[in-house]
Amino acid sequence: MSTAESPKQDIARARVRPRGALELLSQFEADLVKRFEEGETRELFRRCCLAVLNSGNDSDDAAALFERYADFRAEVLQSPRGVQLELFQAPARAFVDGRMVEGVKELLFAVLRDVVYFAKTLSDTDTFDLSSSAGITDAVFHALRHADVFRAPSKTNLAVCWGGHSIPRAEYDYSKLVGYELGLRGLDVCTGCGPGAMKGPMKGAAVGHAKQRNSEGRYLGFTEPGIIAAEPPNALVNCLTILPDIEKRLEAFVRAAHCIIVFPGGPGTAEEVLYLLGILMHPENAANPLPLILTGPESSAAWFEALEALLLTAFGPAVRDYYTIIIDDPEAVARAAKDGMKAVRRARLNSGDAFYFNWTLHIPPALQQPFSPTHEAMAELRLTDDAEPHALAADLRRAFSGIVAGNVKEPGVRAVRRHGPFLIHAEARLKAPLDALLQHFVAAGRMKLKGTYTPCYRLSERGAAA
């Protein structure tokens, strides 16, 4: 691989061969990869590649990244020996002494694998019926299998960790301590694969695995094109999967997980919690355990108070049956995760469900169908207390998803700049705790990594004049 640096220290040109994905391709597959370089898929691929190469950058401004590297290109080259990538004007941070970091190279070819897979396979309506619940679940399964997420023999040891990318140092350090305790107990970690509370558990688990001489530790990262530039995959990820949208990404998390641990975060973390509660509270999942642990250091106690105030107002005290809060005790979190996984294994044995993918978990269609956070769709959300709990959770999840889009996803940021903030109508009883939680996110700097935050939303009491 030869490289040359431009005056801006970007790598002017680099050619890389596959590592970790797409190493062995048939000529038919190589032709398929080459032909995908057309239209929207080509631009999607370029942007996802740029996000991976930008790993470690301390900015979540996707628009600024794309503007800074407007001349970046990624070309697919075909030869009898397979495919290669030729990069132009690539971020220098992905290289050491002119050679690409091996972990970054793996993630780069995972991008090629997944973008091609979704562009060519999931678009085939004869293969997947994405208008049906079963068809969506089948697509998620095939995406994870295609990415080599599943391993045999199957274990029940995967802890999914959710949390914010914009967090204070004390919370990041705490997430590392929890990850360390998980690693000591032989548990693998799956996160949204970005910085902050998505990186901390992986970093801690890697040390725990090393101390136990566990060379097979897995650090799974699930992301999607809309968020990957704002939350680029960290280099600890050794198995990356890019799902086509946030709904399939969330479904991948809950179907692969044996336990879910939530650290403090912003609207994206609230979205994840509400998504999961919308599933757990559904009557059809009463006998389908999935442990949910909320945890953080003592300094983040206010985050849990603000989140729980909204949950209790929306769903009543019974919502506490679906999660456990553990403050400032990493060992207790790891022990609870390990014990919870034993219950999951017993339930899977009794039901005959797979250990590696929870097929029997019922996910309501409202949580599966992609939600496009336009101004009209956000204004039509039904945040009232006369809805079924799982239905209210679905609409609250959409509200937070729209705020995430308006904060860091390029189409959402562009829509807010053009038309002003999203208007969210909420019943008076829900508006107060929802507003309090969002204001806490703003005051604690959980909305964005840098700069002064300008809200992309405006709350209105349902029935009152806008």
CA distance 327 to 298: 6
pLDDT score of 32 more than 70 = no
The DSSP H or E segment spanning 442 is: helix 428-443
Confidence band of 110 (pLDDT split at 50, 70, 90): confident
Mean pLDDT of 221-227: 89
Q: What is the largest CA-CA distance in the chain?
A: 67
| pLDDT value, residue 453 | 87
Q: What is the pLDDT of residue 1?
A: 40
Q: What is the C-alpha to C-alpha distance for residues 430 and 433, in angstroms, rounded to an integer?
A: 6
Q: Sign of the CA dihedral 443, 446, 451, 455?
A: negative
What pLDDT score was predicted for residue 5? 37
- Whose CA is closest to 251, among 358, 106, 117? 358
- Residue 123 pLDDT grade (very low, low, confident, very high; cuts 50, 70, 90): low
Query: Which of 265-279, 305-319, 380-394 is predicted least confidently?
Result: 380-394
Q: How confident is the model at residue 177 (pLDDT cuts 50, 70, 90)?
A: very high
Residue 353 has which token pair?
Answer: 């469900």
pLDDT tens digits, one per residue of 128-141: 888 899 999 999 99
Q: Residue range 119-133: average pLDDT?
A: 74
What mean pLDDT is reported for the chain? 87
Q: Which helix (H) or strand (E) holds 273?
A: helix 267-280
Tell whether the model's pLDDT for residue 372 goes beyond 50: yes
3-state secondary structure labels for all residues of 284-325: HHCCCCCCEEEEECHHHHHHHHHHHHHHHHHHCHHHHHHCEE
Q: Tell me what the mean pLDDT of segment 185-200 comes to.
A: 94
* Portion of the chain with pLDDT greater than 90, in percent: 57
Q: Tell me what pLDDT residue 14 has.
A: 87
- In this prediction, residue 7 carries a pLDDT of 40
Q: What is the pTM of this model?
A: 0.89
pLDDT beyond 90 at 464? no
Helix, strand or coil, per DSSP, at residue 12: strand
Q: Mean pLDDT throughout 12-22?
A: 73
Q: How far is CA 402 from CA 142, 209, 249, 327, in A?
A: 28, 37, 16, 29
Which pLDDT band holds residue 368 (cuts at 50, 70, 90)? very high
Domains annotated on the chain, with CATH = 4-123 (3.30.1850.10), 151-238+249-362 (3.40.50.450), 366-461 (no CATH)
Tokens of 94: 């992905």
Please name the residue that has the structure tokens 């080259």.
77
pLDDT at 72 over 80: yes
Paired strand residues for 295: 326
* Residue-wise burial string across 124-160, b where 16 or more C-beta atoms lie within 10 A, e elsewhere: eeeebebeeeebbbbbbbebbeebebeeeeebbbbbb
Dihedral class, residue 13 (left if φ above 0, else alpha if ψ from -120 to 50, else beta) = beta
Q: Please report the pLDDT score of residue 365 as a whole number.
A: 92
Q: Which of 199-208, 421-430, 457-466 has the lowest mean pLDDT?
A: 457-466
Q: Which residue has the tokens 């700069």?
A: 451
Give the pLDDT confidence of 404-413 residue by residue, as tens digits: 999 888 889 8
pLDDT of res. 228: 84
Q: Which of 10-14, 59-63, 109-113, 273-277 has the lowest mean pLDDT?
A: 59-63
* pLDDT of amino acid 112: 81
Helix axis angle for 330-351 and 169-184, nearest 10°, is 50
Q: Which residues pair with 82 in a beta bridge?
A: 79
Q: How confident is the model at residue 9 (pLDDT cuts 50, 70, 90)?
A: confident
Which of 98-102, 113-117, 190-194, 394-398 comes out lowest in average pLDDT? 113-117
pLDDT level of residue 37 (50, 70, 90 thresholds)? low
Higher pLDDT, 385 or 48: 48
pLDDT tops 70 at residue 2: no
CA–CA separation, 341 and 258 (whole Å): 6
The pLDDT, as a whole number, for residue 122 is: 65
pLDDT for 29: 53
Amino acid at 264: P
pLDDT given for residue 80 in this prediction: 62
Task: Confirm if 230 and 246 have CB atoms less than 8 A apart.
Answer: no
As given in the structure block, the two tokens for residue 145 are 């299998």
Per-residue pLDDT, 36: 58
Is 445 within 8 Å of 456 (Cβ atoms)? no
pLDDT at 6 over 80: no
What's the mean pLDDT in 385-393? 86
Give the chain's radius of gyration (CA, Å): 22
